[in-house]
Every structure is written in C-alpha cells, then in structure tokens.
Amino acid sequence: MYGGYARLTLGSFLLQGEGWISPHHGTRDPAKVLLLAQNATHFSAANRARMGVLGANPTVDQVTTDASYSYVTTDVRMAYTFDVGTDRDPVELTPYADFEYTRDLESISDEVYGGDGEAGQSPRGRMIHARLVW
C-alpha cells in the first residue's frame, strides 16, 4: 500500500487531503466464488461479470481466478474555525466539508462475506460520500 497525507493551515482555515492505493494480486478459489455468488446478498451483475459467474448454472471452469485489482481511496476535508465565545469562556465552532471517494472493484456489501453493509455501496465498487457538517 502506498499513498500520502497533506495538511495546510492558514489562520483559521484548514485543508487536508489524503490518497491511498493498495494493489491486490490474488487467485480466487472457484468453488468458494460460486458459493459466494449463490449466498451473498447484493452480489451484483457487475460482481458476477468480474468473477466469471455467468448464466443460470455457472461452473467452476467459468470462474475468473485472477483477482488482480487496486483498492483506491481519496479524502479531502476543508474546515474553518470561528471563535464564538469570550476571553473568559472561549468557544470554537468548526464547520467542515468532506469529500470521500473509494474504489474497490471486489466490494460486496454483505457483512457475512467481508463487506461493511454500509449504504452508498455501488454494484461497480465505487463509493462517494460528500458531507457538510455544522
């Protein structure tokens, strides 16, 4: 895995960014892939195509055994701190905006099979979260 993190502070303004890439190189077990395809909730058409589980009665010979892909995540945050208290009772308010992108081509949201069950999971392995927090 490789990547990086950067932070820039200018007075009350904060900008942070990070990105990570994790290459994966593996071999799928065809029998376990067929079991996964049969039992996993939300095993999408994109998952089936990527792993070679096609047709009404897929066989172990059809399964794509090469599992080479990269997991990618990027996160950018911006914040500004407002001093809203007094010298005797200091209070800071820091609203922020956050943008997160993740690409995991092997993702399956079913928790039984290693997924996280989170909303926003796409059948093509891409997730985007944008937040504005006060």
Residue 20 pairs with which residues in a beta bridge?
3, 73
Q: Give the pLDDT band (50/70/90) at residue 67.
A: very high
**Of 61, 71, 70, 2, whose CA–CA distance to 34 is shortest?**
61
Domain limits, the chain: 1-23+74-134, 26-67
- At residue 64, the pLDDT reads 95
Average the pLDDT over 89-102 and give the result.
Answer: 94
Per-residue confidence (pLDDT) for residue 53, from 0 to 100:
94
CB 43 within 8 A of CB 110: yes
